Amino acid sequence: MLRKNQKVKTRLLENVAQGHELCVIPVVYYELLCGLEQRRDTASIMFIKTLWATLSYYEATKHIWDEAIRLWVLSTRQNTNPGDKDIFIAAFASQLSATVAECKAFLDISITNRKLDR
């Protein structure tokens, strides 16, 4: 994933250097590392683990689970349920007053220029 697209590494490092707070949440940690482990992409695994050691890591609190439930119910009622992983990420973003960095198939990353407000 990362070894195929140097742009992801570059954008992550640029945003950290610009003072943007990047944080890691459990579902992102799990999904990304599972994909890298499955491909035995040791270079990307080492890069991610080294980078993530410098970032904030947030566990799911009861408030985040409650927000995820609220978002799930809302999206289900609107018949637009995007999937549990996306709802969980949105719940974290909502509770942390954060901007989500969009990662399309882990190949391209789009990070807004707004710093996180907390």
Residue 13 sits in which domain range?
A: 6-110
CATH of the domain at 43: 3.40.50.1010
User: What does pLDDT average to over the chain?
Assistant: 78
* 1 is a domain residue: no
pLDDT tens column, 30-86: 888 898 899 998 988 998 889 888 888 888 999 999 999 999 999 899 888 788 888
28-78-86 Cα angle (round to 5): 5
Specify the number of domains making up the chain.
Answer: 1
* 27 is a domain residue: yes
Q: Are 48 and 16 spatial neighbours (Cβ–Cβ below 8 Å)? A: no
Does 5 or 58 have the greater pLDDT score? 58
* 28 is a domain residue: yes
- pTM (2 decimals)? 0.68
